[in-house]
């Protein structure tokens, strides 16, 4: 039977906690999705599980994940379930459960495309360390990060060192300490 | 905030610095670490919301003049393509006048593409 799902290349999922194992057969019809957006903002994501999505898109090469308090284990277990992943965008809009223990799987994605990390409150340190701990390393050609503190400078240096042989493009947005700003009058 | 050491990134061709704070020393410090060969493009973004917390224009202005004096020889020695992106606030001056306050020599020589963004 003809299904438009087979022709879908980009898929966006909001409220992924509503997906259960009984929905897997439906999602499997989206077998040619190459770009996936997962947005957990607005669904109290500190305690949700993304396990029903693991590995469902066999040729996925680009993942965008926007979250508030999603634990690292959920974020990186989802990421590592897609071995062909090249591009990764992580947008953290809150403070997550960053100190929990998580054991990296034996393999990790190829990560030879673009990495974008945007954080509002907590900086990029935790995400950086998780990425650098992955067994296959990182090989990004493009990296875009935002800085909130001096810790982010060090973390960015770690990312650059991890991609030293492949990195061609670097984009840094320096937002300083992250405190509320006051406008600077610039004299004529 | 200090700059970043990019000396290990031997294949780096394109760098973008977005200034959410009106400090420039971190950019100069970073540029000093970039290897001599591969960098082809360098972009700076000045936003109308570029702000400063606990200091004055008199404090940060020397940092921009230092960067200005660094960028000119950078352009000469590396055939680097320079771009300055300005996102003006309401009623602000044009891109050339604003960039000239930060990077006067670079603006005077006309060696950078000046781009005015509209939000």
Tell me the pLDDT tens digit for each residue of A127-184: 999 999 999 999 999 999 998 888 899 999 999 999 999 999 999 998 875 333 333 4
Indicate whether B22 belongs to any domain: yes
Instruction: Calculate the dihedral angle through the C-alpha atoms of A162, A67, A35, A136, rounding to the nearest 10 degrees.
Output: 30
Q: Taking an 8 Å Cβ-Cβ cutoff, which residues of chain B contact chain A?
A: 1-6, 8-23, 26, 49-53, 56-57, 60, 101
Q: Give the confidence band of A37 by pLDDT, cuts at 50, 70, 90.
A: very high
| Cα of B111 to nearest chain A Cα, Å | 21
Does residue B26 form part of some domain? yes
Would residue B68 count as lying in a domain?
Answer: yes
Put simply, whether A105 touches B (Cβ < 8 Å) is: no
Domains of chain A from N-terminus onward: 4-174 (3.80.10)
Decide if B18 and A174 are in contact by the 8 Å CB cutoff.
yes
Answer yes or no: do A169 and B14 touch at CB < 8 A: yes
From the list B8, B13, B52, which residue is nearest A160 (CB)?
B8
Question: Total structural domains in chain B?
Answer: 1
Chain A interface test: which of B18, B47, B60 (most A C-beta within 10 Å) = B18
**What is the b/e burial string over A44-71, where b = at least 16 CB atoms within 10 angstroms of the residue's CB?**
ebbebebebbeebbeebbbbbbbbbbbb
Interface predicted TM-score of the whole assembly (ipTM), two decimals = 0.90
Chain B contact probe: residue of A145, A176, A178, A182 with most B CBs at under 10 A: A176
- Quick one: pLDDT at residue B49? 54
Quote the minimal CA–CA distance from B70 to chain A in Å.
Answer: 19
Residue B89: is its pLDDT beyond 90? no
Q: Which of A68, A161, A131 is nearest to B7 (CA)?
A: A161
- Domain interval for residue B46: 14-116
Residue B50 has a pLDDT of 54
Domain assignment of residue B6, yes or no: no
């Amino acid at each position: 039977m003809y299904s438009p799902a087979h022709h879908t290349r980009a898929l966006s999922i909001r409220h992924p906690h509503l997906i259960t194992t009984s929905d897997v057969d439906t999602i499997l019809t989206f077998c040619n999705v190459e770009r996936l957006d997962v947005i957990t903002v607005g669904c109290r994501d500190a305690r949700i599980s993304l396990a029903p999505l693991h590995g469902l898109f066999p040729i996925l090469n680009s993942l965008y994940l926007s979250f508030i308090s999603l634990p690292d284990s959920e974020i990186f277990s989802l990421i590592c379930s897609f071995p062909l992943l090249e591009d990764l965008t992580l947008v953290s809009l809150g403070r997550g459960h960053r100190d929990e223990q998580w054991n990296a799987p034996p393999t990790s994605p190829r990560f030879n495309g673009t990495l974008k990390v945007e954080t509002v409150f907590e900086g990029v340190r935790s995400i950086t360390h998780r990425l650098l701990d992955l067994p296959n390393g990182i090989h990004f050609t493009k990296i875009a990060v935002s800085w909130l503190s001096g810790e982010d400078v060090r973390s960015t240096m770690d990312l650059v060192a991890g991609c030293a042989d492949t990195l061609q493009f670097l984009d840094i947005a320096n937002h300083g300490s992250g405190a509320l700003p006051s406008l600077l009058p610039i004299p004529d | 905030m200090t700059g970043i050491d990019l000396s290990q990134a031997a294949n780096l061709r394109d760098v973008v610095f977005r200034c959410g704070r009106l400090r420039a020393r971190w950019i100069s410090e970073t540029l000093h670490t970039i290897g001599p060969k591969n960098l082809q493009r360098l972009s700076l973004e000045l936003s109308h919301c570029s702000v400063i917390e606990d200091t004055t224009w008199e404090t940060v202005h020397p940092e921009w003049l230092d960067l200005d004096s660094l960028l000119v020889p950078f352009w000469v020695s590396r055939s680097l393509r320079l771009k300055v992106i300005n996102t003006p606030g309401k009623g602000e001056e044009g891109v050339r006048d604003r960039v000239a306050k930060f990077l006067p020599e670079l603006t005077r020589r006309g060696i950078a593409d000046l781009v005015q963004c509209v939000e």
